[in-house]
Structure 1
Amino acid sequence: MKKSGLDVISFSAGEPDFDTPLPIKEAAKRAIDQGFTKYTPTSGIPELKEAICEKLKRENDLHYTKEEIIVSCGAKHVLFNALMTLCDSNDEVLLPKPYWVTYYEQIVLAGGKPVLLDCDPETLLVPLEEVEKNISENTKLLILNNPSNPSGVVWSQEALEKIAQLCKKHNIFVISDEIYERLVYDGEKVKSIASLEGMKERALVVNGVSKAFSMTGWRIGYAAGPQEVIQAMGRLQDHSTSCPTSISQKAALAALRCDASVVEEMVTAFDQRRKAMMQYLSEIPGVRFPVPRGAFYIFADFSAYIGRKFETTTIDSSLTLADLLLEKAHLACVPGIAFGMEGFLRLSYATSLENIERGMARMQEFFKKLN
């Protein structure tokens, strides 16, 4: 549509729209100039692992050794390695809704069975009773995304402590995806479930540099967990990608050791955009959403408009609604069914304030035209 000259505004982006900070790019250039362009150890260079250990200790009160760290080609690659390592055929994996689309597919790829957990439609958090009632003798894993993609909600320490008790009681291993942990607002602080008593030995902490440092294309993610799990993931990685990109590892090292203001400036801009998008959404009758305290998404419930018509087309699903918004309003967003929730849309505010103002004005006009 853009190629044909149409002015399409996208709220579908899953990446920051900012450039990678200059000190990080300069570190990559130095690596090239110094000839750091060969294979590295499969699971990452020692100095990057040390920086990850320092980061986890400083920011998350988690103490790991280099032998308990793996660096991979993005956090998605970490998750793939983890599920292929930990999930056997027909193992059940508890997956809270709404879920990031890749979790479901990776569980299936590993031969496991996704067990979907229904959330409270108001908070988009899964009640403890819902977790407990879905535990069976085949339950092996629980995947947590904190803060959440697509909803931006943050799990409280109290909720995490209750989940941790269940996991210890039923011997369930947790994969905790914390890739958005530094993109938080309203004074929110993300607590890692691995830092709770008795959870470090039964949790894998997944993170990376893609979101916090606007480095999505550099493809560096990492995980911290029990040494035997990390070693098994390393053996799998050795026969798939060999090692993460050497130059990107040097860039990631610079990112983890750069001044905190690099991230803070981005968070300040995201916060301004978040507030603007929430204000526009709140002016559309019948639309509900929990206030996102993290990431850069709003997951809004448009189910009040299911069954309504735009011209001659009946809106029968979130996919139809997303298609109509693209076709009629030139506005791109992601249908909620992709995340396991019908009637919702995911809107990303990882775009300029000007785009948000123009795009949300179009959305408001679109809904005024419905029959």
Structure 2
Amino acid sequence: MKLSRRSGTIEQSHIRSMTGACNAVGGINMAQGVCDLPVPSEVIEGAKWAMDQGINIYTPTEGLPRLREAIAAKMKRFYGVDVLPEQVLVSDGATGAFYTACLSLLEPGDEVMLFEPYYGYHRSTLTSIGAVPTFVRLEAPEWTLDMEALQAALTPKTRAMVICNPANPSGKVYTREELESIGAFAEKHDLIVFSDEMYEHFLYDGAAHVPALSVPGLKERCVTMSGFSKVFSVTGWRLGYAIAPLHVIEAMAQFNDLIYVCAPAPLQIGAAVGLERLGDGYYAELSQVHQHKRDLFCAALRDAGLSPSVPRGAYYIMTDVSGVNGSDDFEKAMAILEKTGVASVPGRAFYHDDAGKNMVRFCYSKPLEVLQEAAERIRKLR
């Protein structure tokens, strides 16, 4: 059978390929963003209770009212942002929310700006529907937004931009001033802003998360995506959501119904219970624990003679590996794996050109004893 042209736009994720290489040698997988930490008991018990109560059938495609209300309450609780539950769509992961948003708002040929290093699924989603990614470079180690570069990337076909805040893979946390500049730019040029805020609770060194919905100029032209995979350590539950103007949510719901029907019913209750019952201390500890892990692994990378860009958010470290043997990022990542048994992602996964040829990404959201072992192994590169 002849494959469609669309199928040729998607290639295997470099993250998955490195995961396979890691499994083949029985290594420590710091390539894939799998937060393999304990799931809060409130979340597990909430899902079990839902199953026992018979909440196991289709839900409204927009999501169960209890979860939509809990998400709206969360936005008020943490950020003082008023959101109607009707403005929330629950989907199969934030990736599902982004896909349905793109189908609802973009036409084939529309150009969409990505800030690179970018998250590969954002680019793949855009190309799969016929949109055209364009790129605005943020330079290591500070990843500062250059508004002149943003202006230079604008064309008459530009329809939208994607921001990831805090950013995967760089760990950049956008300041309010940067987001206000983006908002003014988007308003001036009538652009949509897709804001992926999956790592909103992973913040370090006193950084604060500024949701796009809190920024003038963005609220009416923004689709916010987030979810529960990372914050509750349930990546396999595939549970995320979008917040957008009501007419956009209504359009997204049609595609959500077509593609996914609905998110898993009892798991929605588990997430709702987590939002309702977990106190501020849970989220504060999440940041404190991950900051300790960040510092631990960054120190190991420096001891190994590498140059990490210290993240202010999320749980990834982009690292300069110029001193590692190999002609490019893939060979360098494989050399690290072969010598230490620690898997990383080649920098090419996050750039449209060869800018990542001397970079790899490590994910440090691992149990502490596993991370300590990985740190000792990485030091062997010296």
Would the TM-score normalized by the shorter structure come out above 0.5?
yes
Q: Equivalent residue for 1:33?
A: 52
Is 1:276–2:296 an aligned residue pair? yes
Is 1:73–2:88 an aligned residue pair? no
**How many residues are treated as equivalent by the alignment?**
357
One-letter code of the match for 2:164?
Answer: N
One-letter code of the match for 1:153?
Answer: K
Report 1:97-108 matches (<5 A).
97-108=116-127
Q: How far off is 1:118 after superposition?
A: 1.2
Any idea what the Cα deviations from partners look like across 1:149-205, whole Å, max 9, x if unmatched? 111110111111111111111011100000100111112111012211121101011
Any idea what the Cα deviations from partners look like across 1:311-367, whole Å, max 9, x if unmatched? xxxx1111111112222321111111111133111111111333333323332322x
For structure 1, the 5+ residue unaligned runs are 310-314
Aligned match of 1:266 in 273, 280, 286?
A: 286
Question: Alpha carbons of 1:275 and 1:239: their partners in 2 closer, same or farther (altered >3 Å)?
Answer: same
Greater CA deviation, 214-223 or 95-104? Answer: 214-223
Is 1:339–2:362 an aligned residue pair? no
Please tell me whether the aligned partners of residues 22 and 341 of structure 2 are also in contact (alpha carbons under 8 angstroms): no
Is 1:150–2:153 an aligned residue pair? no
Any idea what the Cα deviations from partners look like across 1:96-155, whole Å, max 9, x if unmatched? 000111001000011100001111233123311111111111111110000011111101
Q: Equivalent residue for 1:292?
A: 311
Q: In the aligned structure 2, how far is the partner of 1:342 from the partner of 1:125?
A: 20
Q: In the aligned structure 1, how far is the partner of 2:223 from the partner of 2:216?
A: 14
Q: Equivalent residue for 2:75?
A: 56
Q: In the aligned structure 2, how far is the partner of 1:2 from the partner of 1:123?
A: 30
Report 1:143-182 matches (<5 A).
143-182=162-201
Identity score, percent: 32
Question: Alpha carbons of 1:323 and 1:112: their partners in 2 closer, same or farther (altered >3 Å)?
Answer: same
Question: Alpha carbons of 1:30 and 1:355: their partners in 2 closer, same or farther (altered >3 Å)?
Answer: closer
Q: Equivalent residue for 1:224?
A: 243
Q: In the aligned structure 2, how far is the partner of 1:320 from the partner of 1:167?
A: 39
SS for the counterpart of 1:115 is: strand
One-letter code of the match for 1:350?
Answer: S
Any idea what the Cα deviations from partners look like across 1:19-46, whole Å, max 9, x if unmatched? 2111111111111111111111111111
Question: Alpha carbons of 1:90 and 1:2: their partners in 2 closer, same or farther (altered >3 Å)?
Answer: closer
Q: How far off is 1:238 after superposition?
A: 1.2
Question: Alpha carbons of 1:170 and 1:363: their partners in 2 closer, same or farther (altered >3 Å)?
Answer: same
SS for the counterpart of 1:38 is: coil
Is 1:350–2:357 an aligned residue pair? no
Q: In the aligned structure 2, how far is the partner of 1:174 from the partner of 1:75?
A: 15
For structure 2, the 5+ residue unaligned runs are 1-20
